Amino acid sequence: MFNLARESARTTAARLAKRGVLVRLQRDLYALANRKYSIFSLANALYQPSVISLETALNDWGLIVQVPQTIFSIGLKSYRCVNENTQFIYRSVQPELFRFGQTKVEDFFIVGPEKALLDTRYMKTKGLAELLAEDVDVSGLDPELLNYYSGLYPNAVNKLLHTFDKQEYEAK
């Protein structure tokens, strides 16, 4: 932004942090001291590229009532950190599963509800999620979009989706 070399930018940012203009969030990541930002925009910034997903997105879209104590995102590599007394976990997905279903809400990126469900089911096949079918309200999901997206995931994810389909039909 200021056309500075990387080391000059680091030195300048460190000096501005000492003066209270900036707050250091982690190495090479600063925020203006008096500027408010959402915890989800922080999650997007702490590890890039990443997008809010999994149980965090399911809760944000109102599909589950449990409020995760951890902010879950997906990215191209796994990563975890603690910042502002919050744990951030980034689960790894292949690029072809990362690059769709995202939307910008306010100042952060989050996957849509259908993709959040599929991402969670995908992580369950890897033993990285514990969400039960009865804990998810699937009534507001777009079945066509869910069906389209599910074709992009491995077959094991589609087998798990039948649990949700069965729950949906039993509720009607």
Q: How far apart are the first and last CA of the chain?
A: 55
Residue 167, pLDDT above cutoff 50: no
- Judged against a pLDDT cut of 70, whether residue 46 lies above it is answered with yes
The residue ranges of DSSP E strands in 45-136, in sequence order, are 50-52, 70-75, 79-83, 86-92, 102-105, 108-111
Distance CA 139, CA 149 (A): 17
> What tens digit of pLDDT does each residue of 134-145 get?
889 988 899 899
Q: What digits encode the pLDDT tens for the residues 50-83?
A: 999 999 999 999 999 888 899 999 999 999 999 9
**Minimal CA–CA distance to 46: which of 16, 13, 75?**
75
Q: What's the mean pLDDT when you consider all of the chain?
A: 87
